[in-house]
Structure 1
Amino acid sequence: MSIFEKLGITSVAEAQIQSNDCGGVQDALLAFAIIGFIVAAVGWVIAIINLFFPLYTF
């Protein structure tokens, strides 16, 4: 079951991935990109908060 199906999203991209032999690899890369984006966003939020409220020292 792909990430798109778990999220309930059906789209052209999903059809293209299903028709591709390396769909599992593309799903893994997509998941890695999403996780990386979330981690980066959290990092930026912490950095911005740190500018105004120096609670953490790195």
Structure 2
Amino acid sequence: MLALVMGMRRGEILGLRWDAVDLNRETLTVERSLQRVDGRLTLVKPETESSERTIPLPPIA
């Protein structure tokens, strides 16, 4: 649903943790993504500043 409704990338979705979700403000903060680095899965910061963002959660989420 996050990919379809909010346009998030697979790595961003897999890198989500509960601390990124603010149900009171109805927002989600993208701070890291899951990527394969040297054959291992690693949580990394997004490559660009614009990839780090806070987005509103739609009612369906």
TM-score of Structure 1 vs Structure 2, range by shorter chain:
under 0.3
TM-score (structure 2 length as normaliser)? 0.26
**Higher CA-based Rg:** 1
Higher-strand-fraction structure: 2
Higher relative contact order (CA 8 A, sep 6+): 2
